[in-house]
Amino acid sequence: MKSNDVRDLSDDELKDRLLELKREQFNLRFQGASGQLEKTARIKEVRRDIARIKTIQTERQLTAAGEMEGTDA
């Protein structure tokens, strides 16, 4: 998932996608611990996708907070 693709998602879609990725990460960790994990690189991909989503959520929150501060003056 590219950051441009993530930026195109709405806030609700980001929350849903984040939840899906966290579930997948949980399952991947269990597969790795039990020796059933075939694509070990997927763990890294999922971790980075989670970070991308969280970064964009934070950016949106800061932008919204900055806009609200600007209207108070």
pTM of the model: 0.86
Task: Give the pLDDT score at 20.
Answer: 97
Q: Is 36 helix (H, G, I), strand (E, B) or coil?
A: coil
Other Cβ atoms within 10 Å of 56 Cβ, number:
16
Domain contains 23: yes
Q: How far apart are CA 69 and CA 63, in angstroms?
A: 10
Q: How many domains does the chain have?
A: 1
CATH of residue 48's domain is 1.10.287.310
Q: Can you give the pLDDT at residue 71?
A: 66
pLDDT greater at residue 20 or residue 72: 20
Query: Which residue is it, tokens 């999922």?
Result: 46
pLDDT tens digits along 16-71: 999 999 999 999 999 999 999 999 999 999 999 999 999 999 999 999 998 888 76
- The whole domain housing 16 covers 3-68
Domain assignment of residue 19, yes or no: yes
Residue 73 resides in a domain: no
